[in-house]
């Protein structure tokens, strides 16, 4: 593999785009095959989650969003759910990554297969679930606020750093998971901690000023804040975030992909 040519992961994805589409289609359909409600579960699950959050925070905790005290409990639920969509996308990709190669060992030992696509399929399926959750969020905003911000159309660009980061972390963890079986346990603990350190249940502005710069070092915080900005508040995303975040995500993807390709040479010996 030539290190002088940039963005080799893009050429791999484009070269296997038809296979990638088939794998994603099979994975999404396979998750609901045999169930009575089928694809309806992809909408029913986030809808039930949103209903529970709305009840708990509006009736039990009487909660209000930090920088929007007049938004009421429904505003709290909308902001909370927007953050959860981002975090759940990241958590779904990251939690499964360490075992991707281990659970598909037959692709390593018996078949010539582009193993890097397993990570892409994992991320694509997580994105599908996130998109269905976004539909639920938009419907809830329409009912609660009477409008859906047009700035939600910025979300594909806002999520580019998130998707790129998920791919980079997925390639890295899936490769490490072959050699270090404890990785999956460490990832589970880390995700539990990150859920409370990623401004999911509160806005960044609700923290004391001395802690805000420290928490802002967590990339998920920036992505969640920008998601709320365009999907809930109706504001345009930060240009600096879009440029810097996308550039860093591309670099991270390239490093993660090349590291995966280098590590895969030993997969067959380990498995």
Each residue of 74-86: pLDDT tens digit?
Answer: 777 888 889 999 9
CA distances to 24, 53, 62, 63, 152 from 76, in Å: 34, 9, 10, 7, 18
Contact status, residue 79 vs residue 102, Cβ threshold 8 Å: no
Query: In whole angstroms, what is the distance from residue 265 CA to residue 149 CA?
Result: 48
Query: In whole angstroms, what is the distance from residue 146 CA to residue 151 CA?
Result: 15
Q: For the whole model, what pTM was predicted?
A: 0.89
Position 3 scores a pLDDT of 45
Position 1 scores a pLDDT of 42
- In DSSP notation, 87-110 reads HHHHHHHHHHGGGTTGGGHHHHHT
Position 4 scores a pLDDT of 46
Low pLDDT (below 50) residues in the chain = 1-4
Each residue of 143-167: pLDDT tens digit?
Answer: 877 888 999 999 999 999 999 999 9
Position 205 scores a pLDDT of 82
Contact status, residue 204 vs residue 225, Cβ threshold 8 Å: yes
Contact status, residue 89 vs residue 130, Cβ threshold 8 Å: yes
Three-point CA angle 204, 207, 211, nearest 5°: 95
Phi, psi (degrees; rounded to nearest 5) at 235: -105, 160
Query: In whole angstroms, what is the distance from residue 164 CA to residue 124 CA?
Result: 11
Residue boundaries of the structural domains of the chain: 8-270
Position 37 scores a pLDDT of 60
Query: In whole angstroms, what is the distance from residue 257 CA to residue 18 CA?
Result: 20
Phi, psi (degrees; rounded to nearest 5) at 65: -70, 140
Query: In whole angstroms, what is the distance from residue 103 CA to residue 40 CA?
Result: 27
């Amino acid at each position: 593999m030539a290190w002088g040519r940039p963005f080799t992961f893009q050429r791999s994805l484009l070269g296997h785009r038809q296979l990638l589409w088939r794998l994603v289609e099979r994975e999404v359909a396979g998750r609901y095959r045999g169930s009575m409600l089928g694809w309806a579960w992809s909408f029913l699950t986030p809808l039930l989650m949103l209903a529970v959050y709305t009840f708990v925070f509006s009736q039990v905790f009487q909660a209000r969003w930090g920088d929007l005290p007049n938004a009421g409990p429904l505003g709290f639920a909308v902001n909370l759910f927007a953050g959860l969509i981002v975090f759940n996308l990241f958590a779904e990709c990251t939690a499964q990554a360490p075992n991707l190669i281990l659970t598909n060992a037959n692709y390593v030992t018996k078949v010539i297969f582009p193993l890097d696509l397993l990570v892409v399929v994992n991320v694509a399926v997580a994105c599908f679930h996130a998109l269905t959750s976004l539909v639920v969020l938009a419907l809830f905003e329409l009912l609660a606020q009477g409008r859906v911000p047009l700035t939600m159309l910025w979300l594909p660009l806002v999520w580019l750093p998130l998707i790129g980061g998920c791919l980079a972390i997925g390639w890295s963890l899936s490769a490490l998971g072959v050699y270090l079986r404890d990785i999956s346990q460490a990832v589970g603990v880390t995700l539990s901690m990150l859920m409370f350190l990623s401004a999911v249940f509160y806005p960044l502005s609700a923290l004391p000023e001395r802690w805000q710069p420290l928490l802002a070092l967590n990339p998920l915080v920036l992505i969640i804040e920008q998601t709320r900005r365009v999907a809930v508040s109706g504001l345009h995303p930060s240009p600096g975030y879009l440029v810097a975040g996308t550039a860093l995500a591309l670099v991270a993807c390239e490093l993660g992909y090349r590291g995966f390709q280098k590590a895969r040479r030993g997969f067959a010996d380990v498995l």
